[in-house]
Structure 1
């Protein structure tokens, strides 16, 4: 088992309050978040942005492992995850990944199969109770 921690400290009301997020690795340390960073253009981060970063990173790493297992090494995997929050439902409803990949000697069919497998099996994909889509482009 591997455990990773992050801590959120919130002060005040939901709309006027503020919070900070810190991660075990200290990559984020007392990083500000608030209503404005979540629902407007305030300075700081928000939970959906952090989930998007986690999903993009997890997917790219899983894809790299799957490519290696199939005998390929990517020159570059550029994955961008877009998280959709439906405020009316109060839930994340989608995570869409856009991928641009440079992988020597792979066929489009091999690429599509490995990318789809990685989308389904990445640990963050398995964690999310949302629609997960992928647009994978071999460049």
Structure 2
């Protein structure tokens, strides 16, 4: 078992408030976030961007390990994730995480690749955490 930690600090309330996020590793150290970074494109990060990064990274690592277990030894995987935040009755909700994968894997056929990619999407820990629609688009380059 591993336990990771991050913290958020917020000063002020509502739109006027300003926050910062810090992670145990120090990769994020008082990284600014708030209404402006979430909805107005201002510099800094936001929770959905961090979820997108986590989902892309988790899925890509899960697929890498799945390919390795299946006997493939060389390749590259590039994944992006788009996380959708929508206003709903009673507030906001993350409703979708769309993964987009481009890969080059030596010796694999398209059917085997699709099977392993779909298995990784369903079984990566962040996919299991998210309670929203998750889509996967992939392409295998030769």
Using the TM superposition, give the Cα deviation of residue 73 of structure 1 relative to its aligned residue in structure 2, in angstroms.
2.9
Residue in 2 aligned with 1:17? 17
CA distance in 1, matches of 2:68, 2:29: 34
Deviation, 1:74, is: 4.2
Aligned to 1:61: 61
Aligned-partner SS, 1:117: helix
Post-superposition CA distance 1:54-103 (Å, at most 9, x none): 00000000000000000113421000000000023510000000000010
Structure-1 residue corresponding to 2:39: 39
Runs (5+) with no aligned partner, structure 2? none
Q: Which residue of 2 aligns with 1:123?
A: 125
Residue 99 (structure 2) aligned to one of 97, 100, 104 = 97
Q: TM-score, structure 2 length as denominator?
A: 0.96
Q: What stretches of structure 1 move > 6 A for 4+ residues in a row?
A: none
Compare 73-82 and 44-53 and name the one that shifted more.
73-82
Contact in 2 for aligned 1:64/1:74 (Cα 8 Å): no
Q: Measure the CA separation in 2 of the matches of 1:104 and 1:52.
A: 28
**RMSD (CA atoms):** 0.8
| Match of residue 6 from structure 2 | 6
| Per-residue deviation, 1:32 | 0.3
State the partner residue of 2:116.
114
TM-score w.r.t. structure 1 length? 0.98
Measure, in 1, the Cα distance between the counterparts of 2:75 and 2:65. Answer: 13
